[in-house]
């Protein structure tokens, strides 16, 4: 028998975090006909998110991929809020905040107290254990991972992660909702790195090792992977778009969780992060984005 959480359609979605990931998720949910409560404590971030969503939807109208009426309706579906209390009526809450287990757990404790008993709580984490996040709540069967890829409106994939106690009903409902967003769904058990990062991050790390040990220049490493394996972007360029700090965080999760030295982060990656060279978002990573107009287009990111 269906539980309360699966008995009705998801109508109201709370999205926590108005950065690139959160705003992209909010756009998808609004375009799918959901009421969206976009939460961030930074009012400037909320304003930027609304502008970004509006611009993105209007580009779709200009391309003939969306009607003007649908564009305006989607924009109207999004309500910006600044307090977690305002998420009390959400059917599904998706957090897209900083990749820190402690910070996410504190948020889940708060959400568990505020949201209605039937609400599903989802994390957009790219590596952190869903089981451990769920353990901070009194509803572990209603906690799940929804790993979107960046930018969410463009990337076709959602990686769904079941915690140890995630119910079959909640999994089915979230999978159906993800498909309603027009996404292809892959499903992972709750192991460090899930599917994509378990495979991708060691490749990125190995590219850093190749650069660190002088195997080749960064340009040749990336060109080799783009033209030799038909990847749309080389691993070092991709790391810059993901964020070197995020890559380092995921590698540490893999290393700690799986205990294999092959996941140990390359010292060069650690050094770049220590120096604040976090990638495109900071204007400097493996490549510099400060003094030139980058010809690199983000096609895949986490």
Binding region for CoA:
56, 63, 126
Burial class (CB in 10 A: 0-12, 13-18, 19+), 135: middle
Tokens of 20: 């690139």
Among the listed residues 126, 129, 300, 301, the single catalytic one is 126
Among the listed residues 74, 178, 197, 249, the single catalytic one is 197
Annotation marks residue 159 as catalytic = yes
Q: How far apart are CA 85 and CA 45, in angstroms?
A: 19
Q: How far apart are CA 242 and CA 249, in angstroms?
A: 11
Query: Which positions make up the binding site?
Result: 17-22, 40, 56, 63, 99, 104, 126, 150, 281
Tokens of 297: 């287009």
Among the listed residues 123, 129, 159, 169, the single catalytic one is 159
Annotation marks residue 168 as catalytic = no
Annotation marks residue 138 as catalytic = no
> 155: alpha, beta or left, given left = phi > 0 and alpha = psi -120 to 50?
beta
Q: How far apart are CA 34 and CA 184, in angstroms?
A: 19
Query: Which positions make up the binding site for NAD(+)?
Result: 17-22, 40, 99, 104, 126, 150, 281
Annotation marks residue 197 as catalytic = yes
Element (H, E) at 16: strand 12-16
- Residues annotated as part of the active site: 126, 147, 159, 197
């Amino acid at each position: 028998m269906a539980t309360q959480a699966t008995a009705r359609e998801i109508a109201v979605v709370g999205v926590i975090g108005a950065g690139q990931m959160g705003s992209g998720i909010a756009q998808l949910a609004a375009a799918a006909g959901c009421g969206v409560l976009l939460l961030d404590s930074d009012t400037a971030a909320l304003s930027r998110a609304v502008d970004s969503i509006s611009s993105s939807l209007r580009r779709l109208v200009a391309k003939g991929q969306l009607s003007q009426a649908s564009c305006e309706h989607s924009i109207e579906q999004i309500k910006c809020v600044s307090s977690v209390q305002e998420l009390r009526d959400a059917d599904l809450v998706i957090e897209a905040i900083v990749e820190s287990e402690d910070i996410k757990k504190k948020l889940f404790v708060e959400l568990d107290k505020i949201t209605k008993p039937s609400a599903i709580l989802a994390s957009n984490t790219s590596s952190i254990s869903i089981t451990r996040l769920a353990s901070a709540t009194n509803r572990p069967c209603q906690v799940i991972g929804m790993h979107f890829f960046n930018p969410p409106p463009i990337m076709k994939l959602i990686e769904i992660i079941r915690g140890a106690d995630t119910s079959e009903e909640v999994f089915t409902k979230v999978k159906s909702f993800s498909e309603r967003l027009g996404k292809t769904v892959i499903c992972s058990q709750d192991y460090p790195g899930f599917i994509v990062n378990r495979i991708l991050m060691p490749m990125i790390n190995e590219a850093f090792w190749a650069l660190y040990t002088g195997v080749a220049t960064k340009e040749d490493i990336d060109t080799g992977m783009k033209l030799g394996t038909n990847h749309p972007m080389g691993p070092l360029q991709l790391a810059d778009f993901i964020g070197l700090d995020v890559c380092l965080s995921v590698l540490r999760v893999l290393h700690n969780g799986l205990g294999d030295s092959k996941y140990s982060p390359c010292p060069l990656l650690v050094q770049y992060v220590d120096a604040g060279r976090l990638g495109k978002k900071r204007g400097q990573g493996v490549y510099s984005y400060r003094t030139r107009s980058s010809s690199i287009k983000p096609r895949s990111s986490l």
